[in-house]
């Protein structure tokens, strides 16, 4: 199947695109659209995280669960919203932790593309959602694909920093070779668990790891 995605990812994931589950997934999305259901993000942005962070540039992975389900929010990057869209509560808490950790003032927007362009791969485990129906595509087959993505990163790269927030993300640790990668775990930054997320210092820890490996740090300021 010819999938429009960044060249490096296309090479690494070529076998996944030929599997039966992926064909079923594509058919499911097309059926949703044909039936008049609004699916987010727009088709051209489903693989935005991959396009913004080419495979050979991945240094950090921040794993989310599924896209925001309200109008205008989802643009293919975990936790991120386009400029001009109100910053969601979890992202507000992420910015609060960055302020506490690195004394960087929270930005006036929630667009995380600048992180992605520096090598922060903002991956959702589920890449699409039906409008106003959270987790509506959770069983469509996306997790087969994104689990494979995590495994490919683990297999083909070394020294990647994985930030796993919340029980859903932390379950993905089993897919990562921790002898060659770094895994930082904490509670999810949602308002329900943010008190256990605050103080994790994952942003300074990530930069410390990158620095120790002679790599450019992430400028977390937006």
Q: How many CA atoms lie within 13 A of 120 on its CB side?
A: 23
Number of Cβ atoms within 10 Å of the Cβ of 125: 21
Query: Residue 192 corresponds to which tokens in the numbers above?
Result: 């329900």
Query: Residue 118 corresponds to which tokens in the numbers above?
Result: 């520096």
Q: Enumerate residues 6+ apart whose C-beta is below 8 A from 18.
A: 1
Active site residue 66: yes
Among 51, 56, 66, 101, the one annotated catalytic: 66
Q: Enumerate residues 6+ apart whose C-beta is below 8 A from 86.
A: 110
Query: Residue 106 corresponds to which tokens in the numbers above?
Result: 């929270």
Q: Are strands 39-40 and 129-130 parallel, antiparallel or unpaired?
A: antiparallel
CA distances from 103 to 97, 106, 131, 204 (A): 9, 9, 36, 11
- Note whether 149 and 29 are within 8 A (CB): no
Could you tell me which of 9, 7, 15 has the C-alpha nearest to residue 144? Answer: 15
The residues annotated as belonging to the active site are 66
């Amino acid at each position: 199947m010819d999938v429009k995605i960044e060249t490096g990812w296309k090479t690494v994931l070529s076998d996944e695109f030929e599997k039966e589950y992926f064909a079923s997934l594509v058919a499911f999305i097309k059926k949703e659209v044909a039936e008049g259901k609004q699916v987010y993000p727009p088709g051209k942005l489903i693989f935005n995280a991959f396009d913004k962070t080419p495979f050979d540039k991945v240094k950090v992975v921040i794993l989310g669960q599924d896209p925001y389900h309200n109008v205008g929010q989802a643009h293919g990057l975990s936790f991120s919203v386009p400029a001009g869209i109100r910053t969601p509560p979890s992202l507000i808490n992420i910015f609060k932790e960055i302020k506490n950790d690195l004394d960087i003032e929270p930005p006036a927007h929630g667009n995380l593309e600048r992180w992605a362009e520096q090598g922060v791969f903002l991956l959702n485990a589920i890449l699409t959602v039906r409008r106003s129906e959270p987790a509506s595509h959770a069983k469509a087959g996306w997790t087969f694909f994104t689990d494979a993505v995590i495994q490919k990163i683990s297999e083909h790269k070394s020294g990647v920093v994985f930030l796993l927030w919340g029980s859903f993300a932390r379950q993905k640790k089993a897919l990562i070779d921790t002898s060659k990668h770094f895994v930082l775990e904490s509670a999810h930054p949602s308002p329900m668990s943010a008190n256990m997320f605050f103080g994790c210092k994952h942003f300074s820890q990530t930069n410390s790891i990158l620095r120790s490996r002679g790599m450019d740090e992430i400028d977390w300021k937006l």
